[in-house]
């Protein structure tokens, strides 16, 4: 299946997307039939333990893309362009190509009108692009906090305009993050490409989640919209306690 085939498949059903940052997770998700796997700059938080995504570098994204690529055979593999990696059009194209060389089939960058020339340049270079509007994690320092978007008529209109210019430029899908559900639904109805929501209600044509949130593997911070479907952190904690007890017990061994 080609990249174009995978992108075309996203239009057939609701898009199921998850993040991955390592080989075993990527392979498990791919074998589960996940449509789109994102090597997200969220790795700065849930993998590296930083307070936000802005410390993530291109070298880190390239490394994680490389190892995730080894586990992916069927899903569309997309990688984030990290903070300050697309400050100029030239940087956007160069760094997008670096991610493709590492194994990504497409890249994602944050913003609409503000980055449209960079989006067009990356697309013109032959690289597929996913858009990302609404709450932009890379803009956290400028905005001061994570805020729901689309609460005012003006903000909703700006989001719709961002989505339309991205579609016109040729992105294959747009992530809608932390957008008022009614506004996310309106944007979805206005477009002919998939919208992939995260904290944007059920009116999008797909949804993405951070795999650590899905698996309950990052108990120190739980986004209000996250829905854990497992308790990996608790399971690992119990396993570590049991292992420690076995090793410390006189005469016990953990191996046959």
CATH of the domain at 221: 3.20.20.60
Q: What is the pLDDT of residue 224?
A: 86
Average pLDDT, the chain: 95
Q: What is the pLDDT of residue 200?
A: 97
Q: What are phi and psi of 128, to 5 degrees?
A: -70, 145
104: which residues sit within 8 A by CB, 6+ positions away? 39, 65, 69, 77, 78, 79
Query: Is position 240 within any domain?
Result: no
248: which residues sit within 8 A by CB, 6+ positions away? none
Q: Which residues of 22-49 are buried (b: 16+ CB within 10 A; e: fewer)?
A: bbebbbebbeeebbbbbbbbbbbbbbee
Query: Is position 90 within any domain?
Result: yes
Q: Residue 145 above 80 pLDDT?
A: no
Neighbours of 104 (CB within 10 A): 30
Q: Which band of pLDDT confidence, cut at 50, 70 and 90, is reported for residue 46?
A: very high
Q: What is the pLDDT of residue 252?
A: 63
Q: Which band of pLDDT confidence, cut at 50, 70 and 90, is reported for residue 146?
A: confident
pTM for the model stands at 0.94
Query: Is position 225 within any domain?
Result: yes
Range of the domain at 211: 3-231
Q: Residue 256 above 60 pLDDT?
A: no
Write the pLDDT tens digit of every residue in 126-136.
999 999 999 99
Beta-bridge partners for 195: 174
Q: What average pLDDT score do residues 3-31 get?
A: 97
Query: Is position 247 within any domain?
Result: no
Write the pLDDT tens digit of every residue in 105-122.
999 999 999 999 999 999
168 is catalytic: no
Tell me how many domains the chain contains: 1
- Residue that wins the pLDDT comparison between 141 and 136: 136
122: which residues sit within 8 A by CB, 6+ positions away? 92, 93, 96, 107, 109, 129
- Catalytic residue from among 177, 182, 186, 252: 177
Contact 80, 40 (CB under 8 A): yes
Environment class of 230 (CB within 10 Å of its CB; exposed 0-12, middle 13-18, buried 19+): exposed
Q: Which 3 state secondary structure label does DSSP give 160?
A: helix
Query: Is position 101 within any domain?
Result: yes
């Amino acid at each position: 299946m080609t990249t174009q085939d995978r992108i075309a498949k996203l239009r057939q059903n609701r898009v199921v997307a998850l993040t991955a940052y390592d080989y075993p997770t990527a392979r498990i998700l791919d074998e589960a039939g996940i449509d789109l796997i994102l090597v997200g700059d969220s790795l700065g938080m849930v993998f590296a333990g930083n307070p936000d995504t802005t410390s993530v570098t291109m070298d880190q994204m390239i490394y994680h893309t490389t190892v995730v690529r080894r586990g992916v055979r069927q899903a569309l593999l997309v990688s984030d362009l990290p903070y300050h990696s697309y400050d100029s059009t030239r940087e956007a194209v160069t760094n997008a190509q670096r991610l493709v060389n590492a194994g990504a089939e497409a890249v994602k960058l944050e913003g609409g009108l503000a980055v449209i020339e960079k989006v067009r340049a990356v697309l013109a270079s032959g690289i597929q692009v996913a858009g990302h509007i609404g709450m932009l994690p890379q803009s956290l320092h400028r905005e001061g906090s994570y805020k729901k978007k689309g609460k005012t008529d003006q903000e909703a209109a700006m989001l719709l305009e961002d989505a339309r210019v991205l579609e016109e430029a040729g992105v294959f899908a747009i992530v809608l993050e932390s957008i008022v559900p009614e506004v996310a639904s309106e944007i979805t109805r206005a477009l002919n490409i998939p919208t992939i929501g995260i904290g944007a209600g059920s009116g999008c044509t797909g949804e993405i989640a951070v795999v650590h949130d899905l698996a309950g593997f990052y108990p120190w911070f739980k986004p209000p919209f996250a829905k854990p479907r497992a308790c990996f952190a608790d399971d690992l904690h119990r396993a570590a306690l049991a292992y420690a007890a076995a090793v410390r017990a006189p005469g016990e061994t953990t191996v046959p």
